[in-house]
Structure 1
Amino acid sequence: MARRDVIEKFNEMLQDIMDSNLLFGGKIVVFGRDFRQTLSVILKSTKENIIDYSIVMSPLWPHLSKIKPQKNMRALSDSIFSSRLLKIDDGVEITNENNEIQIPSHINIPFADDATSLNTLIEMVFPSINDPDLDFSSFVKRAILTTRNEFVHEINDVLINKFPREETTYYSCDENTSECVIPDQEALFHCLTPQGLPPHKLTLKINLPIILLRNINPTEGLCNEICLHCKGFNKNVIYAEISVGTHAGKPVFIPRITLESPHDDFSTITFKRKQFPIRLCYAMTINKAQGQTLDFVDIYLKEPVFSHGQIYVALSRAKNIDQIKVLIRPSTSLAQSTNYTKNVVYREVLDAAHPH
């Protein structure tokens, strides 16, 4: 859901348009939100600020009608798994002395070393990936979830080298839009991949799964976060096919477009990047996976989760516990294999959203 300040401005706009003091100008507005999932991303912020940006802290919240779903429809076939998910994100799951929850041993992958353990994880979620005769459509609803974009890029780089097809590489054109004079600016911009932008070097192969980063034509199914797979390549157009949803199987063309880096207080350098608005989606961040239902999920915790609801979101992408594997990297090189991980829950948000 959008941040509370955006919703409050939307309310003021409708009141102004309708010349009415009624909530949202008297119009019916429907919001959807699971407060057990991750909250709005507020860069360089504190827990208190993140909570304050949630709609439950808005003066509009008491005036909204709340409809609370009663069942976890995704995990309906596994009631024990569904019950444990709710305990995890209610913050009442049993913890050890370090306030960590235990991952069941049968879904935990023992950690050996970074390379070996990651290859084991990859083989579990994408078995026989280097087989050229494999039906790659079976990989559409499988993914590796992790905490940060840097880990996503690391996993995707490993996976694309295992994928048995001839590769096509596209390089972006980057242009400085800030007032700063930057020596060797192109080389600097090529090294940057801000949130929401595709990489400078985009390497693709036929049948490779990709995710769209922008709304191009929502009525035709080309909307942000839709999953596709590559079917053909041209200089300025990629031929692809939508993998999921009501438009599954539909052939589409993705153009190369100009995108701008984020404008915020923490981006002193801004630039434009002309590139295809896509990324590989073998692996994705936990935040990006919200709303998706997957047939098999690998969770790669190279570092502990750091935001409200992240472990709940990661585990709840699957329909039952047998469709999940978890790899937890010990926090120190001397640590032994572990199946305990942190759980971050902001009780203030849950209590405000679900009052007793």
Structure 2
Amino acid sequence: MRARLDPMFSNYVLAVDNGLSPNTKDEIIKIPNGMLVPYDDDKTSLDHLIKYVFHNIQEYSGNMSTMMNQAILTPKNSFFNEIYALLIQRFPGEYQRYYSVDETIDKTEQLVMEDFLNTLTPNRIPPHELLLKKNCPMMLLKNINPSKRLCNGTLLICRAFDQNIIDAKIVVGHHMRKRVFIARIPFLPNVDGNSGSPFKRTQFSITLSFVMTINKSQGQTLDYVGIYLPQPAFSHGQLYVALSRAKTGSAVKILIRPGNRVQSVIFETDTNSREDTLKLFHSYYISDALVKNANPRYKIGTYEYDWTLNTRTLIEDVEEHDNQIEAPKYNIVPFTYLHSYKYSTQRIYFLAVAIQIKPTKEITTEFQQQTIQEIYLIDER
């Protein structure tokens, strides 16, 4: 066992795995205080967890061995993306962005579904937007060429970028220091209630290795382990896997984020699944919603975050004596006045229903070539 150098920690991990008291009672697991990162707020506490695990991440590009033996583990892909964005931002160097090509299997759904598919990151599938930097540690997500050790879980260091190729070096095993070239490959995610429609994603089969889901970490031994639990509910089997990546109890830090309650205004119209709960331009307290930085490519106006509400999300009315958030204000142009803005470049807001959306096309005007899209609207009233 990895933790044989620390008998107390070894006994604790085994007790967690077997669900034995006093460490486990009624599916509630007691975490030793020495392993916990005190929760102040999301930003401060995550900073403390990152500093404990990685110390000075700016220096890692010159010490590959140290970098490959430290990681933050988290139970879900959605939490993985949160840590991924923080770590790659702090890693030294310039960004390289790679966007996937997402295609619906039913070609008639492509125009309607493409933007939605870009927001999905199914299990064992690389994200739509892949952020990398030179010398950052990576992990393969799929078997590409097992005979050359290009298989699921292989650890790599990124050496250089091209538009369609990533130049990398294997850093573990018999093929250590071998130079390899990674190309984009197609993925076919499993269809579930989140994706709805079968689709194909073409992207590089890699992710950062200094943050990973707990399931992906199985089989690894790490010098420092950070465990990020945004949701208190957690199975002891998964916690056992996360804890057992470490050699000693002093090498583990766990951040548990309590259920936060924040106030928000509902202003989007896509609230069909919550039509009995949410009203437009009303203020609510919302707990246990997934909040992440908005994708720059799809950000609306000045809004900074995307919100995802699910069956666990708790929504409460704001009490009358509490200050209500001021709802966004729009200067709505009546549908019948749109002709007045025919030659205007001013941004306007109006209410209408789109009954047909045609693909974009190139046209040549008197002055230049432009891309246009025809959208047929009717008055919402």
TM over 0.5: yes
Are 2:72 and 1:171 equivalent residues in the alignment?
A: no
Are 2:228 and 1:314 equivalent residues in the alignment?
A: no
Note if contact 1:197-1:261 (Cα within 8 Å) is conserved in structure 2.
yes
SS at match of 2:109: coil
**Deviation at residue 201 of structure 1 after TM alignment:** 1.2
Pairs within 5 Å for 1:100-249? 100-131=28-59, 134-178=62-106, 181=109, 183-249=111-177
Note if contact 1:238-1:254 (Cα within 8 Å) is conserved in structure 2.
yes
Cα offsets for 1:260-290 (capped at 9, x unmatched): 1224687531111111111122211111111
The 1:273–1:105 alpha-carbon spacing in structure 2 relative to 1, beyond 3 Å, is same
Decide which structure has greater strand share. 2
- Separation in structure 1 between the aligned mates of residue 150 and residue 158 of structure 2, nearest angstrom: 14
Pairs within 5 Å for 1:1-356? 72=1, 74-95=2-23, 99-131=27-59, 134-178=62-106, 181=109, 183-263=111-191, 267-307=195-235, 309-332=237-260
**Deviation at residue 96 of structure 1 after TM alignment:** 7.8
**Deviation at residue 182 of structure 1 after TM alignment:** 5.2
Q: Give the residue type in structure 2 aligned to 1:233.
A: F
Note if contact 2:168-2:180 (Cα within 8 Å) is conserved in structure 1.
yes
Note if contact 1:84-1:93 (Cα within 8 Å) is conserved in structure 2.
no
**Deviation at residue 100 of structure 1 after TM alignment:** 2.4
**Deviation at residue 258 of structure 1 after TM alignment:** 1.5
Cα offsets for 1:178-226 (capped at 9, x unmatched): 3763543322221222222111111110111111111001111111122
Note if contact 2:138-2:206 (Cα within 8 Å) is conserved in structure 1.
yes
- Separation in structure 2 between the aligned mates of residue 96 and residue 208 of structure 1, nearest angstrom: 38
Report the TM-score when normalising by structure 2: 0.64
Cα offsets for 1:40-74 (capped at 9, x unmatched): xxxxxxxxxxxxxxxxxxxxxxxxxxxxxxxx2x2
Q: Give the residue type in structure 2 aligned to 1:161.
A: Q
Unaligned runs of 5+ in 1: 1-71, 335-356
Cα offsets for 1:141-185 (capped at 9, x unmatched): 110011111110110101111111011111111211037635433
The 1:163–1:287 alpha-carbon spacing in structure 2 relative to 1, beyond 3 Å, is same
Note if contact 1:228-1:243 (Cα within 8 Å) is conserved in structure 2.
yes
Report the TM-score when normalising by structure 1: 0.68
* Count of residue pairs brought into register by the alignment: 262
Note if contact 1:110-1:327 (Cα within 8 Å) is conserved in structure 2.
yes
Question: How large is the RMSD of aligned CA atoms in angstroms?
Answer: 2.3
Higher Rg:
2
SS at match of 1:184: helix
Q: Give the residue type in structure 1 aligned to 2:17.
A: D
The 1:132–1:286 alpha-carbon spacing in structure 2 relative to 1, beyond 3 Å, is closer
Note if contact 2:16-2:24 (Cα within 8 Å) is conserved in structure 1.
no
Percent identity for Structure 1 against Structure 2: 46
Which 4+ runs in 1 deviate beyond 6 A? none
**Deviation at residue 123 of structure 1 after TM alignment:** 0.8
Note if contact 2:12-2:23 (Cα within 8 Å) is conserved in structure 1.
no
- Separation in structure 1 between the aligned mates of residue 248 and residue 212 of structure 2, nearest angstrom: 20
SS at match of 1:76: helix
Note if contact 2:165-2:182 (Cα within 8 Å) is conserved in structure 1.
yes
Note if contact 2:16-2:23 (Cα within 8 Å) is conserved in structure 1.
no
Note if contact 1:305-1:311 (Cα within 8 Å) is conserved in structure 2.
no
Q: Give the residue type in structure 2 aligned to 1:111.
A: Y
Note if contact 1:215-1:222 (Cα within 8 Å) is conserved in structure 2.
yes
